[in-house]
Amino acid sequence: MMICLDADCTIYFVEQHPIWGPKITQRLVEWRSQGHHVAVSDLVRTECLAAPYARSDIALIADYVAFFNDPEVRTLPLTSEVCERAAQLRAASNFQLKVPDCLHLAAAIHHGCGLFVTHDVQVARCGLMTIEWLV
């Protein structure tokens, strides 16, 4: 199974957040030991790198680039089909979900992910696909 990470979970992992970093790290180890693959959408790269670029944090940028270039991490492209699916998801949520969240979910659905992992409670409760709320 392919498991898609939301930007928040990616940030927690790469930056090793004191509370959430160990939790997502543990889940990643479990998933990989079970033969699952990890994926992120193209948009995750943008969301994750914006703050390090703003701070000119070269070391953190390098950490993110290493994560995104890891051969065990698949990047899901935001194609025109994904964008259209995102619009459908946003409409289905009665505009409760933000466009970036819809793009992440649409990429996961379009590219065949069986699970989407987030720390965002609103996304976790949307019911648009199988979602694990990182707690």
pLDDT single digits (tens) 56-70: 999 999 999 999 999
Establish if 91 belongs to a structural domain: no
Residue 52 has pLDDT above 90, yes or no: yes
Tokens for 54, please give them: 């703003």
Task: Count structural domains, the chain.
Answer: 1
Is residue 61 a part of any domain in this protein? yes
Q: Is residue 70 part of a domain?
A: yes
CATH code of the domain covering residue 125: 3.40.50.1010
The pLDDT confidence band at residue 117, using thresholds 50, 70 and 90, is very high
Per the structure, the complete domain to which residue 40 belongs is given by 2-76+113-133
Label residue 68 exposed, middle or buried (CB < 10 Å: 0-12, 13-18, 19+): middle
Q: What is the pLDDT of residue 98?
A: 96
Instruction: Establish if 88 belongs to a structural domain.
Output: no
Question: Does some domain include residue 102?
Answer: no
Judge whether 47 lies within some domain.
yes
9-27 per-position pLDDT tens digit: 999 999 999 999 999 999 9
Angle 121-127-41 (CA atoms, 0-180°, nearest 5)? 70
- Single pTM value for the model: 0.94
Residue range 80-94: average pLDDT?
96
